[in-house]
Structure 1
Amino acid sequence: MESLPVEEVRGGTFRSLRHRNVRVYFAGLLVSNIGTWLQFTATSVLLYDIDKKATDVGLNTLFQFLPMLLLGAWAGGFADRHDRRTIAMYTQAALGVQAVFLAIADFTGHATLPVVFASSLVLGIVNAVDNPARRGLVTELVEPHEISNAMSLNTTVMTGSRIFGPALAGLLIGPLGTAWLFALNAVSFIAVLASLFLITRSEMFPVPSTPRSAKPVREAFAFVNSDPLLKRTFIAFTIVSTFAFNYGVVLPKLVDTRWGMPGAFPWMLTVISIGSIVGSLATARLPHATGRWFMLATAVCGVSAIALAWSPNIVVAFVVALPLGAGGTACVASMNGLSQLKTPPEMRGRMLALVAVAFLGSTPIGGPITGWVADSVGVEWALAYGGVVALMCVPMLRKL
């Protein structure tokens, strides 16, 4: 890949933050996503407490992420044809309403498995439309040569919220219960909606809307297939995302049965997220994402997952969780950066959607499998097998 001009890479890790719109948008996202992780943590705890089965948590991921698998690529084409800021306003408002519904159900004692599953399905449908529009909006807030950095910082914001969200959940879930955490998530959407309204259109770098195409998804897949770097990284990313990123399914049972500390689940997510910050910022420091960086991140993720699965105690587990978070998030951030760097502006929404389908849309496959492995084979293997799969992907990336 050609080197970027020196003037285009100067400015350091946080160079995209020179744009006011980026600062405003990321601030709103940070607050809102802290609320999202409050809800994610509370949902996992609520489901596991019902009958102590990781399978139920895995099934919930199926309902939550199946819409991404089925609708994600189409949603990317939709985001390419319409105003991404407007789409994000509607979808973020809808996500707030979903959080209100879940809070009411929990407060009134109606948060049963079917109700939670149905709520997660609605959440998944809205997220499928929201994801490419919300992330695609980031590419319109910076100049083209800053997109890779902006996407990495966007990942930093998302993972940074994972530090505070689960930690806050760990502090509040005992005295307040899960219902109040759902309510707090609903309130947090005010922040991201305000940031969307405050974005100054005159300071944006919009791309022309893409005309409606008869085969928008096929065009995106054809583009990926035509580029050897994108093709190999996309295949590896899909496999790793399917089997190695199901922490939310296995960790509630792992901390309970292996280390006898069921209350440690939120704190384990927090430690993983601290590592995630390191991984995303390390990626942001690069002039642009590379295939070799993606390969290294995949290897770190695989080794760390295996080590965490058989950690002898919770202290060692916390230490090992740091590189697990760093490797996983560096993998995601570099995939986002690579895809946007090599994609023409009119196809960025579809490419973001394809990456989201690989990352989130694969969860309906990997989540239930991981839950079944935890309940039927062994909770350690439910985490370790994903690490083995990640390491098996490294050889195909060595020539990048």
Structure 2
Amino acid sequence: MSMFDALRHRNYRVFQSGAFVSNIGTWMQRVAQDWLVLELSGGSGVAVGITTALQFLPTLVVSPYGGVIADRFDKRTVLRFSQSWMAVCALALGLLAIAGLATTEMVYGLALLFGVGSAIDVPARQSFVAEMVPASLLPNAIGLNAATFHTARIIGPAVAGLVIAAFGSGWAILSNAFTYLAFLIALSAMDASQLTPSERKGRAKGQIREGMAYVRGRSDLLLVLCIVFCVGTFGMNFQLTSALMAQQEFGKGAQEYGILGTFMAFGSLAGALLAARRTKAPRLRFVIGAALVFGAMEVVAGLMPGYWSFAFFLPVLGLSALLALTAANATVQLGSDAGIRGRVMALYTMVLMGGTPIGAPVLGWIGEYLGPRWTLIGGGGLVIVGVLVSVAVVSHTHHLSMPSPRSYMHELPRLRRPRRVPDTDARPVD
């Protein structure tokens, strides 16, 4: 199979083209928003952590409903709404910053509103991929999704650093508002007759509980979601850690901060392209091992002595992060029945991004009182501990056999994975 087989499908090509432009703007805003908060707060790591937490807090509350919405309504309609919502938020914050009226509290509020739109957007966007390509190409499409996202991650921070240095944070944020138009145009240009939508669920009580019960009854999915929670909560706070390392540890400015994001994105892109070569869902032990390696690499990143040694190590960190997350994403999507996939992906999004309101303030506090390096060293250590505890607890509660502790990296747990019933003959959920 070719690395780019999913791109043979026109709808997928159109979708990715719009997403690519939009993602460049998203990364520009992420960098600019963090830098704006540092400027407004006098360099407070806690303030950056609070902003990040507020932006991802709605994931904990809204994402389960976003999954129900994705299963109930046409996904293109849902995406049009969510993309327009986030465009308005970016427009408001950009104009306030350009006018010199922005305050830390205003950034907090708009970050929260932006997070509401994102919590609706992500479950629909992720589950929509399965409607554009056949199931045999889904691992490839997931890898290419990540490749597109992280190619934009290479471009976005670098452009943001230049724009911030030349014009200020507000213009970088405002640029993002207009990149959403590309995605909206792409959604309208798709051929609906070539989509294979899953059966929509009508309004009914208990649909969120049904999704949770489905995951609880699947030990493979439950363990993967526990691992993703650990990685998302303590490891995926690069906005915060890179900002603190650039400004406080190495004494650098906005342009150098943007360069750090670009370096990491090169590694992330490499990981995404490797993931795109998969023809089937990865094994559970690969997901576990990749998460443990990521935690170890984060600890090593925190020990890098200078700016450039830190920057040149970030591609390794980005590669390990993407291998872990794309493996987890493919495992969850391919292991879920079509009629409930939106709700399962909402839970995936909730544990990946919803842990940020917990992890970001904690790591921000660590960075402010123990030093920026400890946001990486402590975060990586917590990922490792969390993954090992998750494996032990899920294995014990579901009576799964375990290898000896010394064999984790070479002979990781052979957890039983229930046979997945094809989408055309989906089994009922109790």
Tell me whether the two structures share a fold, i.e. TM-score over 0.5: yes
Residue of structure 2 in register with 1:164 after alignment: 155
Aligned equivalents of 2:182, 2:233: Cα separation in 1: 31
TM-score normalized by structure 2?
0.88
Aligned equivalents of 1:239, 1:216: Cα separation in 2: 26
Say whether the 8 Å CA contact 2:263–2:311 is kept in structure 1.
yes
Question: Deviation at 1:217?
Answer: 2.0
- The DSSP-based 3-state class of the residue aligned with 1:139 is helix
Residues 63-82 of structure 1: matches in 2 within 5 Å?
63-82=54-73
Aligned equivalents of 2:378, 2:2: Cα separation in 1: 37
Question: Deviation at 1:38?
Answer: 0.6
Q: Does 1:274 align with 2:266?
A: yes
Aligned equivalents of 1:23, 1:245: Cα separation in 2: 28
Question: Deviation at 1:200?
Answer: 0.3
Aligned equivalents of 2:271, 2:56: Cα separation in 1: 24
- The DSSP-based 3-state class of the residue aligned with 1:109 is coil
Paired amino acid for 2:60: L
Question: Deviation at 1:256?
Answer: 2.2
Residue of structure 2 in register with 1:6 after alignment: none
Question: Deviation at 1:152?
Answer: 2.0
Residue of structure 2 in register with 1:329 after alignment: 322
Say whether the 8 Å CA contact 2:227–2:288 is kept in structure 1.
no
Q: Does 1:92 align with 2:83?
A: yes
Question: Deviation at 1:211?
Answer: 2.8
Say whether the 8 Å CA contact 1:305–1:384 is kept in structure 2.
yes
Q: Report the number of matched residues.
A: 390
Q: Does 1:347 align with 2:340?
A: yes
Say whether the 8 Å CA contact 1:139–1:151 is kept in structure 2.
no
Aligned equivalents of 1:275, 1:296: Cα separation in 2: 18
Residue of structure 1 in register with 2:96 after alignment: 105
**Greater displacement, 123-132 / 281-290:** 281-290
Question: Deviation at 1:393?
Answer: 4.2
Aligned equivalents of 1:213, 1:336: Cα separation in 2: 27
Residue of structure 1 in register with 2:30 after alignment: 40
Aligned equivalents of 1:265, 1:339: Cα separation in 2: 34
Aligned equivalents of 1:249, 1:99: Cα separation in 2: 20
Say whether the 8 Å CA contact 1:254–1:379 is kept in structure 2.
yes
Say whether the 8 Å CA contact 2:122–2:349 is kept in structure 1.
yes
Residue of structure 2 in register with 1:262 after alignment: 253
Identity rate, percent? 31
Q: Does 1:15 align with 2:5?
A: yes
- Cα deviation, 1:92-123, whole Å, max 9, x if unaligned, reads 11211111111111111111011111111110
Say whether the 8 Å CA contact 2:298–2:379 is kept in structure 1.
yes
Aligned equivalents of 1:217, 1:15: Cα separation in 2: 34
Residues 366-381 of structure 1: matches in 2 within 5 Å?
366-381=359-374
Aligned equivalents of 1:160, 1:181: Cα separation in 2: 18
Question: Deviation at 1:14?
Answer: 1.5
Question: Deviation at 1:357?
Answer: 0.5
Residues 130-279 of structure 1: matches in 2 within 5 Å?
130-263=121-254, 264-279=256-271
Paired amino acid for 1:338: T
Aligned equivalents of 1:338, 1:150: Cα separation in 2: 13
Residue of structure 2 in register with 1:362 after alignment: 355
- Cα deviation, 1:18-67, whole Å, max 9, x if unaligned, reads 10100110010000110011111000011112211110010001211111
Aligned equivalents of 2:314, 2:285: Cα separation in 1: 23
Aligned equivalents of 1:217, 1:52: Cα separation in 2: 40
Aligned equivalents of 2:277, 2:287: Cα separation in 1: 14
- Cα deviation, 1:193-231, whole Å, max 9, x if unaligned, reads 110000100111111102333222222222222222212
Aligned equivalents of 2:248, 2:106: Cα separation in 1: 27
Say whether the 8 Å CA contact 2:64–2:343 is kept in structure 1.
yes
Aligned equivalents of 1:304, 1:74: Cα separation in 2: 35
Aligned equivalents of 2:322, 2:351: Cα separation in 1: 14
Aligned equivalents of 2:387, 2:99: Cα separation in 1: 49
Question: Deviation at 1:293?
Answer: 2.5
- The DSSP-based 3-state class of the residue aligned with 2:25 is helix
- Cα deviation, 1:260-310, whole Å, max 9, x if unaligned, reads 223321111111111111111111212223223312321231121111112
Pick aligned residue for 1:391 from 384, 391, 398: 384
Say whether the 8 Å CA contact 2:230–2:387 is kept in structure 1.
no
Structure 1: which 5+ residue stretches go unaligned? 1-10
Say whether the 8 Å CA contact 1:244–1:385 is kept in structure 2.
no
Residue of structure 1 in register with 2:405 after alignment: none
Pick aligned residue for 1:283 from 275, 290, 312: 275
CA, structure 1 residues 310+262, in 2 after alignment: closer, same or farther (shift >3 Å)? farther
Say whether the 8 Å CA contact 1:299–1:327 is kept in structure 2.
no
Residue of structure 2 in register with 1:313 after alignment: 306
Q: Does 1:118 align with 2:75?
A: no
- The DSSP-based 3-state class of the residue aligned with 2:131 is coil
Say whether the 8 Å CA contact 1:74–1:216 is kept in structure 2.
no
Say whether the 8 Å CA contact 2:237–2:360 is kept in structure 1.
yes
Give the RMSD, CA atoms, in angstroms: 1.4
Say whether the 8 Å CA contact 2:66–2:120 is kept in structure 1.
yes
Say whether the 8 Å CA contact 2:34–2:239 is kept in structure 1.
yes
